[in-house]
Structure 1
Amino acid sequence: MAERRSQRMRVVLQVAEREEQAAAAKLGEQQEALKHEQAQLGQLQEYRQQYMNDYARQRSGVSAEALMSYSGFLQRLGEAVDGQQQKLAMVQQSREHCRREWEEKYHRRRSLEDMISRLEREEEAAFEQRQQREVDDLAAQRLTRPGRSRKS
């Protein structure tokens, strides 16, 4: 007997499941990268704030050269924060792309599962109809065979 269509579709479902799992793993990696970049940004912002507080306290009684050095360092620190914010935005975009990709794979797998379930129900109904037809045919053959006595 030929393989049923629902069974053949199970191979397609297995491929879809593997693709979904790969997309989920990639999304997990991007989520971890996002957490890391957010932590980095938080540390930089905290470090800059501490330095700004120190700078504000030390403004009096410090040489102009030291203040310029401090100011230059704060500017570079601000640039580092800006750079980290840009990096964070890129990672967020990448994570969002991975999330959409996973979502597509997830919906594809679910659609395949639904289709396979529908095919199995249709195949089962067709099988039951064939069996019923065969039973009906056998019953009709028994009734129409010559030489058999019928009991009333």
Structure 2
Amino acid sequence: MSTSHKSLKTLQDLAHTRVDEATKHLGELIASKQASEVKLAMLQQYRTEYRDRFMQTARSGIEPNAWRNYSAFLIKLDEAIAAQQMSVDHSHKATEHGQQKWVSEHTRAKAFDTLSLRQEQHEQLRQNKREQIQSDEHSSNKFRKQQEEGGS
């Protein structure tokens, strides 16, 4: 194996390692994004249910203190939902970046694979030519010996 082939193999291995790392990282980002979205959906559902309970209680009459408590809690839920929405947005951006990173690493690895394949094909072609030359020389030497033996 030539030095250039060893160097290319090292680069190819490194590129595949980076693809594996990018794949793992992307999987983690996707899982995090999904968990973040589930948490947001749960908060939104809880807020809807809590608001519905508040409205039902308000229809049948509610004391001012209970009204303030319901209102304050709904405000806290809205703040939590807004914070979670920011987390979801951040997760989406991080996942998109992770996908771009994976595509970039995958493309780089494919390029090294292509270079390696071309180098192997080129080496095989050179080997085939060497073998053909050796075969031709062997045939030529054999024919010359036959001529020399037959002519003497």
TM-score by length of 1: 0.86
Asked if structure 2 preserves the Cα contact closer than 8 Å seen for 1:30 and 1:95, the reply is yes
Q: Write out aligned runs for 1:95-110 (5 A).
A: 95-110=95-110
The Cα shift of 1:138 comes to 4.1
Q: Write out aligned runs for 1:2-41 (5 A).
A: 3=2, 5-41=4-40
**1:59 is matched with which residue?**
58
Letter in 2 for 1:98: G
**1:129 is matched with which residue?**
129
Distance 1:62 1:89 in 2: 38
The Cα shift of 1:92 comes to 1.0
The 3-state SS of whatever aligns with 2:148 is coil
* CA displacement, residues 88-107 of structure 1 (integer Å, 9 cap, x when unaligned): 10011111111111111111
The Cα shift of 1:46 comes to 1.1
**2:112 is matched with which residue?**
112
**1:89 is matched with which residue?**
89
The 3-state SS of whatever aligns with 1:58 is helix
Asked if structure 2 preserves the Cα contact closer than 8 Å seen for 1:34 and 1:95, the reply is yes
The Cα shift of 1:137 comes to 3.4
Alignment coverage as a number of residue pairs: 149
Higher helix share: 2
Distance 2:50 2:132 in 1: 86
* CA displacement, residues 72-125 of structure 1 (integer Å, 9 cap, x when unaligned): 211221121111001110011111111111111111112211221111111101
Letter in 2 for 1:16: A
Letter in 2 for 1:48: R
TM-score by length of 2: 0.86
Change (3 A) 1:46 1:18: same
Distance 1:66 1:11 in 2: 69
Q: Write out aligned runs for 1:74-85 (5 A).
A: 74-85=74-85
The 3-state SS of whatever aligns with 1:148 is helix
Distance 1:42 1:104 in 2: 32
